[in-house]
Amino acid sequence: MGFGKYCRITAMSQDSPLSRLIGGRYQLEHRIARGGMAEVWLASDTFLHRQVAVKLLKPHLANDANVAERFRREAVACAGITHPNIVAVYDCIEHNGQQAVIMQYVKGKSLRELLDKQQRLGPKLTIHIGMSIAAALEEAHNKNFIHRDVKPGNILLTPEGKVLLTDFGIAKAMTSTEDDLTHDNIMMGTAKYLAPEQVRGKPLDGRSDLYSLGLVLYECLAGKVPFLGESDADTALARLQREPTDLARLRPSLSPQLVKIIHKLLSRNPEHRFATGYETKVALHSALTGAHDKTTELTPPTGITLEEEVLTPREPIRPVTSPRGEQRQPRSAPPFALRRMFVGLLALSLIAGVALWRVSGNNTTELAAVPEPAAVVGPVTIASISTFDPLGDDGVENDELLPNLLDGNATTMWSTSCYDNQYFGSKEFVGLVVQLNRASTGTLRVGMQNAPWAIDVFASAETAPTDINQWGDRIDGGYNTKRERASFVVSTPAQFILIKIREAGKSANCSASNPYQGVLAGVAFTEG
């Protein structure tokens, strides 16, 4: 089976490299990366008038029929994976025997470049990267596809803070399992991120990728990988012989919860790791509030940026111990004895409040009436979110993506279907209904990831009408030609809020015939 079974075969232009037109449509501009297996070029898609990245397999590998076939098979498989945190594969071609994959062009830098410059990252940014890659792996694993080469060099970060995973299976596709540790052109630089079962040549599943992700996050926080030998083989084998150094010793300021999550990912036994990318993402999200910078905002206005303020300044990478060798506790943590005393006093006060006895003037004992304390009202939160169909026919608009609006991850998206115009075809609008846990006033924030956009906001105190005419007058709205985090004021108490999206811009995820799509990164509500 040849490369051209699923990939187009065209003739290579004989012009200079900087003016080559490949595939009849991709104009190579300049090389942006070079590796042992392939070169990556920035190119212009002359049909769709957009920039793309072209990965060209090196000729000495392209001449190997088995390698070329694996490259083709992996490229075709990658093209079937669509996710906001995965670099998209658009096309695969063959030019005069040289194979190429056409991919989404990502403006930014690799995590490898960032770590080489910064050495260590802050816990907030590290969690953000981990959640994004875990979400990408969840999608790939659901498609029965294993990455097998999760490493900082294959993680891309944009200036806006978007995190994308690239090179799905390509590096692994270049060689067989038996050659993973010995082929200099294939595994160089990747042995540091292999799972133990990968080193042993055992069958792999999605948990192998999660182990590699754990190594990446460990390096982000510790400034170094836990296993490093004199050679790639020594580095790979080290994880079979010992456990990684306790991350808490290298960076005592980290929350115990975050440390525990990363060490669970690094369990030598796959059964002891998180089972799925989704479980990993949920665990990392729960660690957000325990991060060193006390992050409380789950959906930053424009995503997490790569500005210096989100990075933790470099500190000496060394164990920090007390004189007796015990790990120091954070200063904010009160001594256990004081906490126990406080809990005891609180319990006594509650008992006294429930039953206070007094002696009346006639020496009879009676129970004094004690006013009940005012009910504690918890914070206002978003209880659920659902789509609103203005036509009343199918009522569905990518409902499976709705959890992405509430997961606290600015890189996971909900999107509308793709339409032939910016006004959603024959629909008046596309709507979302936000239900709060109780009626409240406050500010609704919507992360708009496409532009231009136009939104009207409606509110209801007790019910969520199914007819748009029953929602009453618009309470707020806005229009902008830029991607931004839009804010809308809910000035009267409401438990149900309708987000009426009236206009959306073009999206790279849609076809040329239906190019318009609304894309949201998150929805949040603040009381007051």
Residues in CB range of 469: below 8 A, 6 or more apart: none
Helices (H), 324-436: 336-354
* Contact indicator for 417, 515 with CB cutoff of 8 Å: no
**Closest CA relative to residue 38, chosen from 84, 118, 86, 92:** 92
Residue 445 parent element (H or E): strand 430-448
Specify whether the CB–CB gap between 148 and 208 falls below 8 A: yes
C-alpha gyration radius of the chain: 28
What is the layout of strands, in order, in the sheet containing 155-157? 109-110, 155-157, 163-165
Cα separation of 454 and 477, whole Å? 8
- Residues, the chain, total? 528
Q: Are 208 and 273 in contact (CB under 8 A)?
A: no
**Distance between CA atoms of 358 and 98, rounded to whole angstroms?**
94
Give the Cα separation of 59 and 11 in Å (integer): 15
| DSSP 3-state of 455 | strand
Q: Which residue has the tokens 């049909």?
A: 47
- Measured CA to CA, the distance from residue 60 to residue 68 in angstroms comes to 10
3-state helix/strand/coil string of 102-141: EEECCCCEEHHHHHHHHCCCCHHHHHHHHHHHHHHHHHHH
CA distances from 366 to 304, 355, 363, 370, 490 (A): 62, 10, 9, 12, 50
Do the beta carbons of residue 419 and residue 425 sit within 8 Å?
yes
Q: Which of 45, 149, 407, 456 is catalytic?
A: 149
d(C-alpha 467, C-alpha 391), whole Å: 9
- The Cα 53–Cα 248 span in angstroms is 40
Residue 136: phi and psi, rounded to 5, are -65, -45
Instruction: Let me know if 91 is a catalytic residue.
Output: no
**In 3-state terms, what secondary structure has residue 503?**
strand
Q: State the catalytic residues.
A: 149
